[in-house]
Structure 1
Amino acid sequence: MVRALRQAKKLGLRELARRAELDPGYLSRLERGLIRDAGDRQVQRVAAALHVPVDVITEETP
């Protein structure tokens, strides 16, 4: 979900990582589903950087 939102907003991975104050490698792993239990703070940062509610980021896709 994060990757789709990022791409829809025409942001690069490094730019989103910069805006969310996260490591680009961490964000990449999060996008690829390699991090299952991301911390609340990290999710809040990504949501804020994308200007979306947290629940949009955390909802499961079928």
Structure 2
Amino acid sequence: MRPHGTAIRDIRNGQNLGLRALAERAGIDRGHLSRIERGEVRNPASTTLHRIAAALKVPVDAITITEEKTT
């Protein structure tokens, strides 16, 4: 599971939430959230993604990209 930074930012903005407000709601560092949104963190802890999703009140699937494995 990889975070979809653009989706996180779009949902956050759609809910009129600032970066700081979402970080506080999710209980994570604002800088870390910013890096996730910009795509600089490719593999955050799954608990982090679950916290972000819960804070945004969306399913985790709405803010992640499932990478397909190639054989």
Question: Could you say which TM-score interval applies, normalised by the shorter chain?
Answer: over 0.9
Q: Tell me which moved more, 51-60 or 2-11.
A: 51-60
Structure with the largest fraction of strand: 2
TM-score, normalization by structure 1: 0.93
Supply the AA of the counterpart residue of 1:4: D
Give structure 1 stretches of 5+ with no counterpart: none
Who is 1:41 aligned against?
Answer: 47
Structure 2: distance between partners of 1:24 and 1:53: 21
Give the distance between the partners of 2:8 and 2:41, measured in 1 at CA: 12
Deviations 1:28-54 (A, max 9, x none): 000000000111000000000000000
Q: Judging by fraction of residues, say which structure has more helix.
A: 1
Matches within 5 A, 1:13-24: 13-24=19-30
Rg larger for: 2
- Which amino acid letter does the alignment assign opposite residue 12 of structure 2? R
The percentage of counterpart residues that share the same residue type is 50
Moved segments of 4+, more than 6 Å: none
1:1-62 correspondence to structure 2 within 5 Å: 1-59=7-65
Which amino acid in the other structure matches residue 27 of structure 1?
L
Q: TM-score, normalised by structure 2?
A: 0.81
